[in-house]
Amino acid sequence: MRNILNFIVTLVVFWVGSQYFNQYIAIADTKTLIIASILMFVISFLFSLAVVFSVMLITVGIGCLTTPALILASVVLTPIKLWLLDKYLNGFEVHGFWTYVILTIVLSIFTVKVKSKRDD
């Protein structure tokens, strides 16, 4: 359920950006909007699997090295994903450094987090 909500949030952020801030974000059509959202979702899902795997490796001792690196990389990963979409997806354009920064912040704020349920 969380993954579906994250996909919808990404889709809405891209759509709102292209509709109301079209001088900064240009998306050619609905197909491009859906493909961009799917690609962002897939990359984010793979990254979250890497974080989970890294945290599991803490018990072995290796995760102590990889977990902080992955957390730091998460700050850098969203702009890189946006840049890759801009570069390789025809019809998806992001204009300006600050647009990348603002999109990263907006996507981070509206990403759905699920609280773990613990029975103490």
What distance in Å separates the CA atoms of residue 102 and residue 20, rounded to the nearest whole number? Answer: 14
- Location of structure tokens 């801030």: 21
Which parts of 21-62 fold into alpha helices (H)?
Answer: 30-56
What distance in Å separates the CA atoms of residue 2 and residue 48, rounded to the nearest whole number? Answer: 12
Global pTM reads 0.73
Per-residue pLDDT, averaged over 39-60, amounts to: 74
- Write the single-letter amino acid at 3: N
- Reported residue count of the chain is 120
Per-residue pLDDT, averaged over 7-20, amounts to: 90
Instruction: Give residues with Cβ within 8 angstroms of 46, minimum separation 6.
Output: none
pLDDT at 107: 82
66 has pLDDT over 70:
no
2 has pLDDT over 60:
yes
Token couple for 2: 């969380």
